[in-house]
Amino acid sequence: MVAQRTFVMIKPDGVKRHLIGEIISRLEKKGLNIVSMKMLKMSREMAERLYEEHKGKSFYEELVSYITSGQVVCMVIEGDEAVSVLRKMIGSTDPKDAMPGTIRGDFALSKSENVIHASDSPEKALKEISIFFSEELQINA
């Protein structure tokens, strides 16, 4: 297996509800490594870059408004098949469809306040990492 890098973000509701430690603990217990991490309040420009694929959709403005409403924790995570492993760990976007034991299944309150974001492909990971982290972290993404 080849180590892969991906992007993970604990959303404003996860930060406000003090779930940072619990989420990081789950990632580390799974054998994933945190390559870099930062807490920030996302600008509208960053949010628009992150969610550009949803521009024009009915939920776009609500999404941008929500993600810029408070602090987030952004991480570059590395591990074997990191993208697919993380997608399984976080669960379905809608918490009512997320399995118990997944991060969203255990902590998400609604479809919009679902605690965590993780890249859904290696290509998307590279793009998302580039929004929040410097060039040297994009190698091997």
- Write the CATH number for 123: 3.30.70.141
Tell me the three state secondary structure of residue 121.
coil
Instruction: Report helix angle 20-29 to 82-90, nearest 10.
Output: 130
Number of structural domains the chain divides into: 1
- The better pLDDT of the pair 138, 119 is held by 119
133 is in an annotated binding site: no
Whole-prediction pTM value?
A: 0.92
Question: Token pair of 75, please?
Answer: 């991480």
Range of the domain at 116: 3-137
- Of the candidates 47, 67, 77, the one whose C-alpha atom is nearest the C-alpha of residue 113 is 67
Catalytic residue among 116, 117, 119, 129: 117
Q: Is 104 annotated as belonging to a binding site?
A: yes
pLDDT tens per residue, range 12-46: 999 999 999 999 999 999 999 999 999 999 999 99
